[in-house]
Structure 1
């Protein structure tokens, strides 16, 4: 059924197309029949005399002008038209010519009307002439409007916002650092002889000298550091203030998804006579991360353990020796955690601190990783409360943190391990040193083997690319000699002394 209907529609389409073509041919043929009357009425008539009066007989609708234009556009004349022209010139058929002219006028008017109906309407002229200049009227949809620059406006607004936020965030972090220094300066000056040394002077001035002026070094737009020295029990104390990147608007937007806070990191370098001890204490998330990344914790500590016996549910610890937790988690630390429960993130004490583990890719590539120099450190990280507030009463909450670190510096100086604990710690370090030496030895062997294989491969490529038969034979003999020497068993030479 569908095929029959499709066939009927196709036949009807072809039929209508044929009828349309036939009608077009007939209309074109009828137009050719009137070609013989194009210019006939004007050939034998004398032009009208110029009387100086306006011609009232010219129609206002312009049909006469259109008729003349149509007549001028006619094609060549036929033989009948030529005969009628001759009769008109001789003056023998004036009356017949007038009747014929009337018929031609009527026919031309009908033809002009049909042609004017078939023609398309001309496009309106968009040009306007003013004082000899041709001004083009631009269409409405091509004119420039401010609505078409919304993307540029958005980009410009983003750049301006970023610039304003940069200067505002930079100034805000600077105010926070200055407020912190003003609050903690007196405490640091009482416990250290040198506060705020920038390293430019060979002998930095002490806090009692007249030229003393603490310098808060600016590492980046959001990181500031303060270096102190001159206290018994430690070599130096470095404080890093790591603020939120307020100068970066993208970081502020990402902070909505991942909240961050201003931090204060304290790094104390202990004396050389410090007892062997490795201990870490902190929140679950931070301690788990340090156990995976730091070399000393992952090598010497067994794992993370809870602080339930100290009634600390949100903190965990990792220790090398069994006696260490009771020594570090004392009444002073418990009092601090009870008073300020959210300030301390982690506490790290180690005499084998070497930073993070070596890169796994470098170890897998066979490149020997030199052992990192170890240091005896006391590290801690504190969260600065009341985000972004620069008042003195807000910064005073950081004073108990500094006092806690000074307390541990004095306590670790007095630390004395038992004989069994010290023996165990030394044995663990000896095993670690042996493991490191074996690892370096295996890495050196692997790198040497790779160099040998690369040399053999280059020699084989040289043999394959050689075209001279004599040179090729010499190279093959040399390679065979090397192979025999390489495969020959090694013999030890012994010297026997004869009497």
Structure 2
């Protein structure tokens, strides 16, 4: 009994020591796992004890799947195990990866922290540097020249557009300047039309002052003064935006012409009650809708039957037929607005607009609008430019007849009454608005008062009403 108890005790001690060794080995492997950073080196080998190899043998070549318990076999002797291992190695090819063979059914989410030792296979054996270089050279795709060029298409387009924009800016700027200078050289220099009709040309008093004032790359202005019947003349040239490449491309699709506008500001005592306009048909309709003075005073006139008149392409808008016939006289018809003369010299004509009720700071204005020809053909608009001084003198001397004057005065008196009524309505609306704002402020102030303050205010209001209702007593002294 004693010997049996001793042997059993020895067996239990050996079993306990083996369990302790296994637990320490597993604990060290868990610490060396890459999931626990900072607790050990990844490449540090795990020490294997000789006692464990001597006592217990494991099937290291092919582990059975963990989930299947029917593949378990009893341990064999050492010699038979070695023979079976050598036979299996000769018959079966080596597995591609030890991890795939050992942990084929391994659940990584369930068993975390247990190391997986990868043994290098034949495919993963280190290769020499020359073979690696050859493989990389063969595997790297060679980009054809077309793909390399296509990668720069966007950059090439952007750079070419910027270059074209810059070149067009300077060339378009020079073209506009040439047109403006050509006009000034033909009409505003010595012995020209404006030099003969105005004493002061340009923006200054000196001799070296420039004739043109440049307000933009496509806007130029010319100023003249010193003439009877008028205060001054302002000519504004609005040219195409040739310096802008996008605008130039747009003008190719939607054509646009260069324009010049003459504004003559008449003296108050030099212009009678005249509202008159002459323009091409489409322009005349737009002017009659948009201009307030033409809406209120003028109407579209039909051509008279007993005299020469303007071509069918033009429309006359006037306050009375008398004014229209006096302003479109035979001299004007022979020079510009006759059928034959207009075909030859009226290509650049757009409109005329004379008004003593023009909406703006200056009430009495003459406005002429023409298109500008190319720089080398400025002489084509000479007769149109001559209309400016001609109509300044004609309007300055013109006096209405009795019938036309009475009609004009009646229309202006009616307009004055309408304007007065509109002014009274605007004043009443302003007063009502002020009263409403004041009432709102009082209501807001009353809403903030306390009950005691409201009671006192009501008492004061009641006393004031009672005092107002009492009869007035007049006291007299008896001597």
TM-score category, normalised to shorter length: 0.5 to 0.7
Show the counterpart of 1:5. none
Given that 2:275 and 2:297 are in contact with CA atoms closer than 8 Å, whether structure 1 keeps it comes out as yes
Q: Which residue of 1 aligns with 2:50?
A: none
Who is 2:23 aligned against?
A: none
Structure 1 gaps of 5+ residues are 1-42, 45-69, 89-96, 131-135, 206-210, 356-372, 489-499
Is residue 71 of structure 1 aligned with residue 65 of structure 2? no
2:176 aligns to what?
A: 173
Q: Which residue of 1 aligns with 2:333?
A: 334
Q: Using the alignment, how far apart are the partners of 2:77 and 2:225 within structure 1? A: 130
Q: Match for 1:296 among 284, 287, 293?
A: 293
2:363 alignment counterpart: 375
User: Which secondary structure state, in structure 1, belongs to the residue aligned with residue 312 of structure 2?
Assistant: strand
CA contact (8 A) 2:323 2:400 kept: no
Shift of 1:114: 6.6
Match of 2:452?
470
Matched, 1:161 2:164: yes
CA shift, 1:169, in A, is 1.5
1:245 is matched with which residue?
241
| CA RMSD between the two structures | 4.3
Report if aligned partners of 1:305, 1:318 keep a CA contact under 8 Å in 2. Answer: yes
Map Cα deviations across residues 92-125 of structure 1 (whole Å, 9 max, x no partner).
Answer: xxxxx5xx64543332355545767999999999
Give the CA deviation at 1:439: 0.8
Conserved? CA contact 1:261–1:383, under 8 Å: yes
**Closer, same or farther in 2 for the Cα pair 1:111/1:151, shift >3 Å?**
same
Q: Do the aligned partners of residues 112 and 253 (structure 1) sit closer, same or farther apart at CA in structure 2, a change above 3 Å counting?
A: same
In structure 2, relative to structure 1, the CA distance for the partners of 1:109 and 1:457 (3 Å cut) is: farther
2:262/2:367 contact within 8 Å kept: yes
**Structure 2 counterpart of 1:193:** 199
Corresponding residue for residue 411 of structure 2 = 428
Preserved contact between residue 259 and residue 371 of structure 2 (Cα < 8 Å): yes
Aligned equivalents of 2:273 and 2:220: distance in 1?
Answer: 32
**Which residues of 2 match residues 314-325 of structure 1 at below 5 A?**
314-325=313-324
Given that 2:281 and 2:313 are in contact with CA atoms closer than 8 Å, whether structure 1 keeps it comes out as yes
Shift in alpha-carbon separation, 1:461–1:414, aligned structure 2, 3 A? same
TM-score normalised by the chain length of structure 1? 0.62
Q: Any idea what the Cα deviations from partners look like across 1:283-339, whole Å, max 9, x if unmatched?
A: 1222222222222212211x3234475252111121112201111112233231323
Secondary structure of 2:347's match? coil
2:77 paired residue among 79, 84, 102: 84
8 A Cα contact 2:349 2:371, kept in partner: yes
Aligned to 2:400: 417
CA distance in 1, matches of 2:233, 2:240: 23
Q: Partner of 2:375 in structure 1? A: 390
Moved more, 167-176 or 232-241: 232-241
* Distance across 2 between alignment mates of 1:281 and 1:221: 31
SS in 2 for 1:379: strand
Check 1:476–1:447 CA distance in 2 against 1; reply closer, same or farther (3 A cut): farther
> 2: CA distance between counterparts of 1:326 and 1:189?
30
Contact kept, 8 Å, 2:184 with 2:211, in 1: the verdict is no
Please report how far the alpha carbon of residue 179 of structure 1 lies from its aligned counterpart in structure 2 after TM superposition: 1.1
Q: Quote how far apart the aligned CAs of 1:84 are.
A: 1.5
1:349 equivalent to 2:331? Answer no
The equivalent of 1:106 in structure 2 is: 87
Partner Cα distance (2:251, 2:197) in 1: 37
Q: Name which of structure 1's ranges 102-111 and 219-228 shifts more when overlaid on structure 2.
A: 102-111
Q: Distance in 2 between matches of 1:155 and 1:467?
A: 71
d(CA) in 2 for partners of 1:403, 1:145? 65
**CA contact under 8 A between 2:233 and 2:265: conserved in structure 1?**
yes
**CA distance, structure 2, for counterparts of residue 105 and residue 445 of structure 1:** 118
Correspondences of 1:15-164 after superposition (within 5 Å): 71=61, 80-81=74-75, 84-85=77-78, 88=79, 97=80, 101-112=82-93, 147-148=150-151, 150-164=153-167
CA distance in 2, matches of 1:160, 1:74: 75
1:261 aligned counterpart, secondary structure: coil
* 1:168 Cα offset (Å): 1.9
**Is the CA contact (8 Å cut-off) linking 2:345 and 2:381 kept in structure 1?**
no
